[in-house]
Amino acid sequence: MDDLRTGPDGIVRCGWVGDDAEYRRYHDEEWGRPLHGDRALFEKTSLEGFQAGLSWITILRKRPRFREVFAGFDPDVVAALADDDVERLMADAGIVRNRAKILATIGNARLVAAMQQGEFDALMWSFAPAPRAGAQRPRSFADVPAVTAASDALSTALRKTGFRFVGSTTMYALMQSAGMVDDHLVGCHRAV
């Protein structure tokens, strides 16, 4: 995979985008942009958990169905899902049918629903590293870490609270996608 890729529209992007139109849209409109809100971050946490062991494009393509079956990732609604709902979800080919991930999403929703409004957002963003003056933007994929001290700390804090499928690698991917860190490569049109 090339570190940078020029799309059919002539725009230079991070190379992980490849030639997929949905990946281009996601890269340009979502990835690396600051995302706030308990519900939005619960969705991101859930989808990153479902992604573990799979490609992100798989999750991105299934995201509309995930949003349908998980009530727009409303933590209160997801927290109320019962055993029969789990069985219904396990039968739905439109999502990733992994019992442990479905149960983790429901359990994580219960934890978010038990928090005060804005508390989950504040918790997540409290681990976003402060931008460092003079910090170098990554020049290649080799410069982008899979985990950091901040993602380790976020993962540990969430697991201590009872969250599941929130390992350090998963949390670093979330930090990238939710704009807590900006790993657009030098030369990408989004790198500013």
User: Which residues are identified as catalytic?
Assistant: 26, 48, 56
188 is in an annotated binding site: yes
Q: From its phi and psi, is residue 118 left (phi > 0), alpha (psi between -120 and 50) or beta? A: left
36 is in an annotated binding site: no
Crossing angle of the two packed helices 21-29 and 56-69, in degrees rounded to 10: 80
d(CA 27, CA 14): 8
Strand partners, 14: 4
Residue 99 class from Cβ within 10 Å (0-12 exposed, 13-18 middle, 19+ buried)? exposed
Strand partners, 175: none
Decide: helix, strand or coil at residue 189: coil
178 is in an annotated binding site: no
Sign of the C-alpha dihedral computed for residues 66, 70, 71 and 74 taken in this order: negative
d(CA 109, CA 89): 16
76 is in an annotated binding site: no
Annotated binding site for Zn(2+): 14, 27, 184, 188
Annotated binding site: 14, 27, 184, 188
